[in-house]
A and B are shown apart, each in its own frame.
Chain A
Amino acid sequence: MQQQSTEANKPTTAPGAAATPAATRPNDVSLIDRASVLEEADAISHYAAPVPSNAPAKMRTRNVNLYYGEFHALKHVNLNIPEHEVTALIGPSGCGKSTFLRCLNRMNDLIEGCRVEGEVTLDGIDVYRDLDPALLRCRVGMVFQHPNPFPMSVYDNVAYGPRAHGITKRADLDDIVEQSLRDAAVWDELKDRLDANGLGLSGGQAQRLCIARALAIAPDVLLMDEATSALDPISTNKVEELVGALKDRYTIVLVTHNMLQATRVAQKTAFFLMGEMVEAGPTMQIFEDPQDTRTKDYVSGRFG
C-alpha cells in the first residue's frame, strides 16, 4: 500500500491515461497482487456491520479550510461524523486526511503558521470558538501513528490523564486503570506488569496501552491516526477487533492507508484527495458503487 500511495503524486486523474503507462511499467506485479488481494478479500465477506443510516452526527465540519502558511492543505471540507460508528478517512499520502483528523481535536494548533477557517462542531458546540482546546481534547481523545507511551510505568501511563484532571484517590485510579486496560484488550497481558516501564512493551502492547490511556479520560470521540501502521498483522488484527468493540460506547474516526482495514472496521468512509473530501458515504457504497470517478479509480487500485 505504501508503494502505491507514493505514486499518487503523479498526475493520473484520468483513468484512461493512467491505464496506458501502467501496462508498460515493469512493476505492475504489485497491481496483480493488489487485484488478487482484493478478490480474495471479496470472497470472504469482510465488510463491517452495515450502517444504521440515520445515526445522528456527533461531530460536523462545515466548509473547513486549513492553511500551512501559504499552502492550502484542506479545501472546503464538509463531513458528518455519525455517533457510535466508525468513520474511516482514506486517500493517498499527503491528501490531508491526517490533517483533517487533527482539526477535530485542534492538534493543529501546535503547528506554527497553521490557520483553520470554517466550523467544526462537537454536539453542536463550535470547537474553535466556544471550547478550550484542553477541554475539547478531554472529550476527543487521540491515538497516534507511532505508539508513544510515556517513560513511566504502565499504571502511571494510564493514570496520567485522570490524575491530570484531578482524580487522586488510589482506589478510583485503580478502577480506572483496570477498566481502561480491559477496554483496550490488554489487561490480561499487562495485569502482572503494571509497574513495568511503558517503553519496554512490544509495539502492539504499547499501542493498546496508548488506547487505554486515551480511554482513561472517558472521551466521547476517539481519533486514531493510522494507529496500526506501525504494528505487525497480529497486533493490527487485535486493534481492529478492539475498534469494533469500542464503537458501541465511543464515536471513532480513523485514518488508514489500508483500504481493506477500512472495509473491515468502518461503517462510514470518506475519501480525500489533494486536500478535498471527494466523497463520503456508507463504506459498502464507497467501495462497491462509488459515485465519483476519482473514488472509483482509487478504490479499484488504478492509482494511489
Chain B
Amino acid sequence: MAEAVQPAAPAPQPAPQAPQAARARAKRMMPKKRVELLGGGISGACAGLATLLVVTLIFMVAQHGLATFTTDGISLASFFGGTTWNPHSTDDAGAPLVGALPMIIGSFGVTIMSTLFVFPFAIGAAIFVVEIQPTFGRKVLQPVIELLVGIPSVVFGLLGLSIIVPFIRGIAGGTGYGLLAGSIVLAVMVLPTVTSLSIDAIAAVPKSYREGSLGLGCSRWQTIWKVVLRSALPGIMTALILGMTRAFGEALAVQMVIGNAAVIPTSLVTPAATLTSVLTMGMGNEAMGTMYNDVLWSLALVLLAMSLAFILIVHLIGRKGAKING
C-alpha cells in the first residue's frame, strides 16, 4: 500500500502550478488514503479483539481462581500442599479439604511420562523421513502423520479404554486405570504433533552442514548424530514442549483412562487424577460463586499459568536457537 501511494505523492516537481491543481491532485489521492485507513482500521481491530480476549480470559480465570484465597480464606499452603481433595467435607479444624497436590502430581506425571515415551519415537520417525528415506517419507509417512493430528481426542480415549486399559490390567493386575494408561494415550495423541514439528526442525538444517561432515569422512550416522541433530536441537525442544503443552491441557482422553481418584498415586497402575480431569468432572456440579466452584477455578488458574510457562520456554528456546544458528 505504502508503495502504491508513493508515486502519486507530489514529488520534487518545481511548483509553479496553481493551488487548484494541487488540491485536485490531493483529491485524487483521497480514495487510496481511505482504503489505507480502512485496511489499517480493520486489521487493527482484529488484533485488538484477539488481545482483548486473551486479557479478559486471564483476568476472569485469575479473579475466580484467586477468590479461593482472598474471599474463601483458604491458605496457599493447604491448597498446594494438601493431599486430600474433598471440597465438601472439612478436616478436624473445620477447614475444607481442598489439597490440590494429587492432581498437580497427576498432571505433571502424565505429561512428563508421555513426553519420555514420545521423544524416541518422534525423533526416530523424523530422522527416517528427512535423512533415510526422503521420497517415501515425504510422500507417504509425513501426510499420514499429519492426518493423525486431526483425530479428535475422544477417539484416542476410546482406544485407550478398550485396548490399553485391559492390556495393563492383564499385565499388572488391578483395574488398569492410572498414570501409565493416561501417559500412553497422551503419548499416542501428541506423537503426530511432535513428529511433524521435529521433521520441520531437522529438514531446516542447512545441506552444507551435512556436506561438510560427510566431506570429513564421517558416516551418515555420525553426521546425523553430531551435526544434524545438534543444530536441530532448539527446534526439536520446541516440538517437545509444544507436545507437553498439549498433553498437559488434554482433558477428555486422560479422564477416560486415568481412573479419576484424587489421591496421590502410589504406583503407575493405580487410579489417579489430573487437574483437567477433576475440572471437567466437577465444573458442572457446583454453583457459581461458591467456595467449591472457586477452588475449581484455582485449578484452572494453575493450568493456565503452566501453559503460559511452557509457551514462554518455547520462545526462550527459539531466541537462543536463532542465536546459535546465526
Contact = CB atoms under 8 A, between A and B. Distances in A.
Contacts of A302: none
A199 B216 contact: no
B166 to A, nearest CB: 47
B217 A161 contact: yes
Contacts of B218: 134, 161, 164
B212 A200 contact: no
B208 A148 contact: yes
Contacts, number: 71
A8 interface: no
A197 interface: yes
B227 interface: yes
A144 B215 contact: yes
B216 A141 contact: yes
B167 interface: no
Interface in A23-74: none
Given A148-B206, A148-B211, A199 B325 contact: yes
Nearest to B210: A110
Nearest to A216: B216
A146 B216 CA distance: 16
Contacts of A152: 230
A256 to B, nearest CB: 19
Contacts of B215: 105, 107, 137, 141-142, 144, 214
B212 A150 contact: yes
B115 interface: no
The dominant DSSP class at the A interface is helix
Interface string A138-171: 1101101010111110000000110011000000
B217 to A, nearest CB: 3
A138 B215 CA distance: 8
A295 B104 CA distance: 78
A150 B214 contact: no
Interface string A86-112: 000000000000000000010100100
Contact of B217 (A149, A150, A200, A217): A217
Contact of B230 (A107, A110, A151): A151
A150 B219 contact: no
Interface in A161-186: 161, 164-165
A17 interface: no
Given A148-B206, A199-B325, A200-B326, A164 B230 contact: no
Contacts of A110: 211, 214
Contacts of A164: 213, 216-218, 222, 226
A135 B217 contact: yes
B324 interface: yes
Most B-side CB within 10 Å, residue of A110, A144, A150, A217: A150
Contacts of B206: 148
Interface residues of B, number: 20
A214 B216 CA distance: 6
B134 to A, nearest CB: 9
A210 interface: yes
A217 B208 CA distance: 19
A150 B211 contact: no
Interface in B189-214: 206, 208-209, 211-214
Nearest to A163: B226
A213 interface: yes
B270 interface: no
B324 A150 contact: no
B84 interface: no
B211 A107 contact: yes
B231 interface: yes
Interface in A109-142: 110, 134-139, 141-142
B217 A137 contact: yes
Contacts of B214: 107, 110, 137
A114 to B, nearest CB: 14
22 contacts: A105-B215, A107-B215, A110-B214, A135-B217, A136-B217, A137-B214, A138-B216, A138-B217, A139-B217, A141-B215, A142-B215, A144-B215, A148-B208, A149-B212, A150-B213, A151-B209, A151-B231, A151-B324, A160-B216, A160-B227, A197-B324, A214-B216
The 7 closest A-B pairs by CB, nearest first: A138-B217, A148-B208, A137-B217, A142-B215, A161-B216, A199-B326, A148-B212
Given A150-B213, A150-B230, A164-B226, 11 more contacts: A134-B218, A137-B216, A138-B217, A148-B209, A149-B212, A151-B325, A161-B216, A164-B222, A200-B326, A213-B212, A213-B216
